[in-house]
Structure 1
Amino acid sequence: MIQDIQGGLVVSCQALAHEPLHSSSIMAKMAIAAQEGGAKGIRANTKADILAIRQEVTLPIIGIVKRDYADSSVFITATKREVDELLDSGCEMIALDATHRFRPHGETLRDLVKYIRARNENVQIMADISSKQEAMDAEALGCECVSTTLYGYTQESASHKLYEDDFAFLKTLQSSLKIPVIAEGNVSTPERYHRALELGAHAVVVGGAITRPQQITANFVNHRK
């Protein structure tokens, strides 16, 4: 999958239970639209959505399962339970929270990587990180790529945006890692998408700016010149 998405756009087709488009069939239609528009891959949440999307498009899929746990702030593919669901879905890549935060049940990132390798060595692993050190640790564990998904979304990185200072964080990761770096998080315009690729991002993931119409509508309503 790493080769398939290189130099292109991955569209995140997700709608949580409280959102108006929450439905596996709707997410499958979103994926069709993304494929017709030229996307090279899909990022999808839950086994049910992935299976529905697989019936409609030929694009490779990055799978996640978002689930809240009382004892941890980690919610993207947090435990072996979520990993099992994704392995059963047939997605080509599994993305999981690779931050240094405490995981549910005391499991570790190392535990999950080893578990995935033992169950299916052909499934690639994307590490969603929020810092340079987390990215380097994920590379050392053998993850195929890192994504900036959680940069700006953890307590330590909350004041930052990926696109700030001409994608300074993206540049830092690229100069520190040997594995591909995927740009994700607030890449909300075509200009930012193309700039991230110009700076060497292996691929770019865009979600809400394409697949969350309530967010897109609010951006129009609230925009001020």
Structure 2
Amino acid sequence: MNNTPPEKLGRSITRDALRGGPIVSCQAPPDSPLHDPQIIAAIAQAALNQGALALRLDTPAHVQAVRQRIDATIPIIGLWKQSIPDCEVYITPQFHHAAAIAQAGADIIAIDATLRERPNGETLGNLIAQIHHNLGKLVMADVDTLEAAISSANLGADILGTTLYGYTRATQHLSPPGFDLLAQMTQQLPPDSFIICEGGIASPDMAAKALAIGADAVVIGTDITGIDAKVKAYHRAMNP
């Protein structure tokens, strides 16, 4: 376990620093030429120049490169996607992944907070508690269902995101954005909950709709930074 005091891992932020958004997810597939820390940092800076309030980044290397380049007041939501044998949980699945992201400069640690079995029999509650107490960081719980959102809120997650709606076995028949899930969360979670709509936001109008439904902020990824996926979609449509 990492016992580094929270003050050694940088400043603390409040959830209000994210309110309203947009939050831009600056990620690229591992096999893409864009999957380079300095390129991701340039993309992140371009997003901030045009009004992004915060960033969502994958891997310690990308978090570190962006943190070194951008204004120190900009919040970073960090995660580390990891493939673990016989485990479907892959977004920052274990504490040592969270610790690496925190050390790299993230202010908020995003984790898979679905109800799926976690690696090595670990519990979601324990992971959230470790991130709070050992790292001094806020936790963003990426969920897929209302049940997962309620569970995460009860376990102390600071931020709840619709990120995994449509990406798990329980929701694979559904397509993001999860506006229905967002509406359920805004209606049934405690009034002081901070809810982010993430996944499938494909236009400014969709982002505005998410805020109108009740999201506190919105993450936009592929529609802004997903060059690989966007060009691939155009190619398929034009070359059936």
TM-score per shorter chain, which class?
Answer: over 0.9
Matching of residues 115-134 of structure 1 within 5 Å = 115-121=130-136, 123-134=137-148
Q: 1:205 aligned to 206, 212, 219, which one?
A: 219
Equivalent residue of 1:205, what SS? strand
Q: 2:94 aligned to 63, 79, 87, which one?
A: 79
Q: State whether residues 132 and 139 of structure 2, in contact with CA within 8 Å, keep that contact through their aligned partners in structure 1.
A: no
Q: TM-score, normalised by structure 2?
A: 0.88
**Is 2:22 the partner of 1:9?**
yes
Matches of 2:55 and 2:88 in 1, distance apart?
25
- The runs of at least 4 aligned residues of structure 1 exceeding 6 Å deviation read none
State the partner residue of 2:5: none
Q: CA deviation at 1:156?
A: 0.8
Unaligned runs of 5+ in 2: 1-13
Equivalent residue of 1:143, what SS? coil
Matches of 1:63 and 1:216 in 2, distance apart?
23
Matches of 2:232 and 2:209 in 1, distance apart?
25
RMSD: 1.4
State the partner residue of 1:172: 184
Between stretches 189-198 and 132-141, larger displacement belongs to: 189-198
State the partner residue of 2:6: none
Q: State whether residues 165 and 177 of structure 2, in contact with CA within 8 Å, keep that contact through their aligned partners in structure 1.
A: no
**Is 2:93 the partner of 1:62?**
no
For residues 223 and 198 of structure 1, do their structure 2 counterparts lie closer, same or farther at Cα, with a shift above 3 Å needed?
Answer: farther
Matches of 2:209 and 2:237 in 1, distance apart?
22
Q: State whether residues 74 and 101 of structure 1, in contact with CA within 8 Å, keep that contact through their aligned partners in structure 2.
A: yes
Identity %: 35
State the partner residue of 1:156: 170
State the partner residue of 2:8: none
Matches of 2:210 and 2:93 in 1, distance apart?
28
Q: State whether residues 162 and 170 of structure 1, in contact with CA within 8 Å, keep that contact through their aligned partners in structure 2.
A: no
For residues 6 and 223 of structure 1, do their structure 2 counterparts lie closer, same or farther at Cα, with a shift above 3 Å needed?
Answer: farther
Unaligned runs of 5+ in 1: none
Q: TM-score, normalised by structure 1?
A: 0.93
Deviations, residues 50-86 of structure 1 (Å, cap 9, x unaligned): 1100111122100000010002011100011201101
Q: 1:136 aligned to 150, 157, 164, which one?
A: 150
For residues 47 and 184 of structure 1, do their structure 2 counterparts lie closer, same or farther at Cα, with a shift above 3 Å needed?
Answer: same
Equivalent residue of 1:55, what SS? helix
Deviations, residues 123-154 of structure 1 (Å, cap 9, x unaligned): 11100000101000100111111000001000
Q: CA deviation at 1:5?
A: 1.3
Matching of residues 38-53 of structure 1 within 5 Å = 38-53=51-66
How many residue pairs match? The answer is: 221
Q: State whether residues 10 and 41 of structure 1, in contact with CA within 8 Å, keep that contact through their aligned partners in structure 2.
A: yes
